[in-house]
Amino acid sequence: MQDSCGYNRFDQCMSNDALKYNYADFTDTYGRIMQFNKNKQEPIHRWYPFVEGYSKEFIQSIIDENKEQKIECCLEPFSGSGTTALELQNLGIKCYSFEINPLMYLIGKVKLETEYTYERANYWFTKIKNSRDKLNDTNLDSSVFPTLYQSDKSKKWNYDNEVGLAVKKLKIAIDAINEEIYKDLFTIALAAILLDVSNLYRNGKCLSYKKNWTSIKLTKEDVFTKFDKKVTDELLEDIKNSFKPNVEFSQKNKSFLFNSDSRFAINEKVEDNSIDLVITSPPYLNSRDYTDTYMLELKTLGFTKDNAQIQNLREHTFRSHVQIHWHDNADIKNSLLKSTLKRLDKSSKNFTLWNPSIIDMIRLYFVDMDTLFKELYKKMRKGGKVYFNVSNSAYFNVEIKTLDICASIAEDIGFSVQEIRKARYLKTSPQQKEHVDKLLEGVIVLEKK
Ligand SMILES: C[S@@+](CC[C@H](N)C(=O)[O-])C[C@H]1O[C@@H](n2cnc3c(N)ncnc32)[C@H](O)[C@@H]1O
């Protein structure tokens, strides 16, 4: 049986709560634009292939529907690939953005840079090609991360020897660039090809070995060719077309991008009552640990130098994963959350194999939401709007109506919930499929009245 939101009415009490909010069907338009895929053809947006983001059209559509409002200053608490701040920069709108992961932060910074010239980019590209060819093969150090490079001591490794050596040479050549914006630019070009040349793939939650990884045999030249193609076809091409001498950008959002934990940094960096619009997508409550997903790039490019730094990064991300045990009894008063946690607790008793920290993670995810919405409320001016893209989740055969719970937390803080827009349905994991067959992804629209 289906409820009015189009999903199974297996959870009667939750469905009644859910009906509190006005659900609008945006599947026709949002179905296409809530994925990063469309950005893969777009200049600059395409420099790094990101999975967990939306397209620039989503940003454009929000600006279009708010044409009557004066939009001067926006806020994006989870920058990710930088789509929000970049698209707003192209539209001449200021945007503060925050990103905890140093790789994502650099991707955003590189895409928001406005000072590139084709000549300098080309100059440094030629330098990289010349110097990598002159470098001797170096030692691939596996002492800190034993499975990063091929070695006799491990059965599996992320890069075969030839690939590891080519990556290392590229990194040495890039690190020698003494103009920071180009060093960063080519670091992101290298980051963009690493997964492809490695033995790994992103499986949605973390990294796994490619099925045929033992038979993939790339040479150093293959790696260089992939890097050169990325640089020539995308970076140089876009720089030539988008950065013309004597054309000034009316808005430069790079100076408003911070490599910090948005739960705590927004307060320090953004003035109270100054934000007209928030457009964002937080980590979903799906146990995905962004530190794990981007581990290959973090380790290879030296963003995290040892396991302690990896752990430190995990500790500062939104609590949507169980890679570390959260020792925190914090809770919030929200009846919808309370009833969900009760049902989860009961249902989890039938499961023996799942990680017991999951219920803590779910509680703390919404504690973090509460912290975030309080910050947003303080920083927004009256009449300001929030567009919050998130999806429902499922654990222990219980659907967690994240959209409703987030809306309800925001409402408790003082926001008015205008509507929840249905964007598309996501598949559930095989373990949950029997009881929860699909998960709604949507956009919560809030207003500070
Ligand atoms: C769903 S993605 C953001 C997608 C982004 N809107 C886009 O389109 O690319 C969530 C991002 O939040 C970041 N993140 C997680 N915890 C954070 C925190 N405490 N502060 C800032 N960023 C955080 C993750 O590293 C990830 O890049």
Residue 327 lies in a domain: yes
Q: In terms of Cα–Cα distance, which of 71, 74, 76, 34 is closest to 56?
A: 34
Distance between CA 261 and CA 299 in Å, rounded? 20
Q: What does 313-343 look like in DSSP terms, one character per residue? A: HHHTS-S---SS----------HHHHHHHHH
Ligand 1 atom with the shortest distance to the CA of 54: 8
Distance 318 CA to ligand 1 centre (A): 8
Distance 362 CA to ligand 1 centre (A): 17
Q: Does any ligand 1 atom lie closer than 6 A to the CB of residue 81? A: yes
Which of 36, 42, 79, 288 has most ligand 1 atoms within 8 Å of CB, for mutation? 79
pLDDT at 4 > cutoff 90: no
Q: Does any ligand 1 atom lie closer than 6 A to the CB of residue 98? A: yes
pLDDT at 260 > cutoff 50: yes
Partners of 275 in the β-ladder: 380
Residue 109 lies in a domain: no
Partners of 185 in the β-ladder: none
Summarize the confidence of residues 10-16 as an average pLDDT: 40
Instruction: Check residue 19 and give its pLDDT.
Output: 59
Alpha carbon 5 to chain centroid, angstroms: 27
Are 187 and 206 members of one domain? Answer: yes
Element (H, E) at 386: strand 380-391
Are 331 and 289 members of one domain? Answer: yes
For residue range 322-353, list pLDDT tens digits in order: 988 888 999 999 999 999 999 999 999 888 76
Least confident span in 82-86, 156-160, 271-275, 319-323: 319-323
Residue 106 lies in a domain: no
Instruction: Check residue 246 and give its pLDDT.
Output: 76
Which of 100, 303, 314 has most ligand 1 atoms within 8 Å of CB, for mutation? 100
Residue 309 lies in a domain: yes
Are 320 and 387 members of one domain? Answer: yes
Partners of 310 in the β-ladder: none
Instruction: Check residue 351 and give its pLDDT.
Output: 85
Least confident span in 102-111, 284-293, 440-449: 284-293
Ligand 1 atom with the shortest distance to the CA of 76: 6
**Using CA positions, which residue lies closest to atom 3 of ligand 1?**
80
Distance between CA 231 and CA 47 in Å, rounded? 9
Q: Does any ligand 1 atom lie closer than 6 A to the CB of residue 317? A: yes
Residue finishing a domain among 242, 275, 307: 242
Residue 306 lies in a domain: yes
Are 192 and 296 members of one domain? Answer: no
Instruction: Check residue 1 and give its pLDDT.
Output: 31
Are 192 and 315 members of one domain? Answer: no
Least confident span in 28-37, 179-188, 263-272, 404-413: 28-37
Q: In terms of Cα–Cα distance, which of 337, 290, 286 is closest to 441?
A: 286
Q: Does any ligand 1 atom lie closer than 6 A to the CB of residue 261? A: yes
Alpha carbon 382 to chain centroid, angstroms: 28
**Using CA positions, which residue lies closest to atom 8 of ligand 1?**
53
6 versus 135: the higher-pLDDT residue is: 135
% residues pLDDT > 90 (the chain): 81
Residue 63 lies in a domain: yes
- Average pLDDT of the chain? 92
Please write down the HEC assignment for all residues of 194-221: HHHHCCEEECCCCEEECCCHHHCCCCHH
Are 173 and 231 members of one domain? Answer: yes
Least confident span in 34-43, 102-111, 179-188, 311-320: 34-43
Confidence of residue 204 (pLDDT cuts 50, 70, 90): confident
Instruction: Check residue 237 and give its pLDDT.
Output: 98
Summarize the confidence of residues 293-315 as an average pLDDT: 97
Q: Hey, what are 89's tokens?
A: 């920069």
Partners of 398 in the β-ladder: 395
Are 189 and 282 members of one domain? Answer: no
Instruction: Check residue 7 and give its pLDDT.
Output: 35
Residue owning tokens 């708010």:
66
Q: In terms of Cα–Cα distance, which of 197, 185, 170 is closest to 48?
A: 185
For residue range 90-106, list pLDDT tens digits in order: 999 999 999 999 999 99
For residue range 37-59, list pLDDT tens digits in order: 888 999 999 999 998 899 999 99
Task: Report the SS3 class of residue 420.
Answer: strand
Looking at residue 271, which CATH number applies to its domain? 3.40.50.150
Domain that holds residue 201: 118-242
Ligand 1 atom with the shortest distance to the CA of 284: 1
Distance 165 CA to ligand 1 centre (A): 32
Instruction: Check residue 419 and give its pLDDT.
Output: 98
Q: Hey, what are 336's tokens?
A: 């919808």
Burial class, 127, CB count within 10 angstroms (exposed 0-12 / middle 13-18 / buried 19+): middle
Distance 138 CA to ligand 1 centre (A): 35
Q: Are 426 and 438 in contact (CB under 8 A)?
A: yes
Confidence of residue 11 (pLDDT cuts 50, 70, 90): very low
Distance 99 CA to ligand 1 centre (A): 6
Are 70 and 178 members of one domain? Answer: no
Q: Are 16 and 9 in contact (CB under 8 A)?
A: no
Residue finishing a domain among 199, 219, 242: 242
Residue 329 lies in a domain: yes
Instruction: Check residue 353 and give its pLDDT.
Output: 67
Residue 388: phi and psi, rounded to 5, are -120, 105
pLDDT at 416 > cutoff 90: yes
Partners of 438 in the β-ladder: 427
pLDDT at 2 > cutoff 50: no
Are 291 and 263 members of one domain? Answer: yes
Instruction: Check residue 126 and give its pLDDT.
Output: 98
